[in-house]
Amino acid sequence: MRVLISGAAGFLGSHLTDRLIKEGHTVIGLDNFITGNRANLAHLTKEANFSLMEQDVSTFIKVNEPLDYVLHLASPASPSKTSPLGYPNLPIQTMKAGALGTHNTLGLAKFHNAKFLLASTSEVYGDPLVHPQPESYWGNCDPVGVRSVYDEAKRFAEALTMAYHNFHGVDTRIVRIFNTFGPRMRLDDGRSVPNFIQQALRKEPLTIYGTGEQTRSFCYVDDLIDGIRLLMDSGEHMPVNIGNPQEVSIIDFALLINELTGNTAGLQINTSERLGDDPERRQPDITRAKTILGWEPEVSLRQGLSKAIDYMCTKLEQKRS
């Protein structure tokens, strides 16, 4: 296949790029590097099956060569208000990536008669009142809240994708991605995994915002990419959750990181600075992924965190040297 991936320099986009090239496909990576990292693609500079378009996905995209697949992954994704990479600090860019970026990539797929995949998110469920969250749940979102620029951009993107499928006949897929972690996460993106690991490696107390009783379900990146590849090759047009259903409280998650790093500094609970609209519970119902794709995660949380810790330890050593 000839594939265009928007957000190719991002955490997930770069892993998907590697997978497709390893399978023998040709990849055109599109990124404007607002949150993407050039280092994630540096190993592909001499790869004959890879080329890079440095462009904002919210502007018109023209590709002269034929395309078989368009995958839209470009968007800021961190909810951190302290990191410059967090979508609270990139609100307009986030909305444009979800709205104009989805429109442009869908138009590109339509023009080339290519298949299309939208990387959506568990954030479309908001702070859920149903647990775990199946794809049939419509969500509990504040359309003007602090997380709305990301939540509503993705909800609009899903609606637009289905409109192109139903009205124009574009062969579309929608993956709802739950919390994912692993190598190539940016150290400065402000999310819990890089924050906790860096504090643990510095032998500092791990800072928890809120009570720490809020839960997440963390999926290792290799498992997620497996799920996306299976969805790409399926005939499924409705949204599919891809994530690890193992639910864990943020406190227990932080304690596990301290255990794996040998950090004895403990935890620092900061109940006054929890991000607004922060979901109380988050756990995917992956029944559809199991049934339709034959997919479920294989890497345990402990195994995945060990790999992520090794990666971030190396990155921190490189940063110091």
Hey, how many other C-beta atoms are within 10 angstroms of the C-beta on 42? Answer: 10
Locate all alpha helices (DSSP H) within the chain, ordered by sequence.
11-22, 91-98, 100-112, 148-168, 192-201, 221-232, 250-261, 287-288, 301-320
Six-digit token string for 193? 């995994």
- What is the token pair recorded at 42? 């540096």
Distance CA(228)–CA(235), nearest Å, equals: 13
Place of tokens 């462009």: 55
CA dist 212 and 138 (Å) reads 26
Q: What is the spatial distance between Cα 20 and Cα 162, in angstroms, rounded to a whole number?
A: 25
As a whole number of Å, the end-to-end CA separation of the chain is 41
Residue in 158, 160, 195, 159 with CA at minimum distance from that of residue 177: 158
Which residue among the candidates 69, 87, 125, 150 is catalytic per the annotation? 150
Has 150 been annotated as catalytic?
yes
Collect all residues with Cβ–Cβ distance below 8 Å to 283 and sequence separation of at least 6: 131, 132, 133, 215, 217, 245, 247
Angle at 115 between CA 111 and CA 120, to 5 degrees: 110
Coil vs helix vs strand at 283: coil
What is the rounded CA–CA span in Å between residue 87 and residue 189?
10
Whether the Cβ atoms of residue 61 and residue 104 lie closer than 8 Å to each other: yes
Place of tokens 């890879």: 50
- CB half-sphere exposure, 268, CA atoms < 13 A: 12
- Catalytic residues, by residue number, are 150
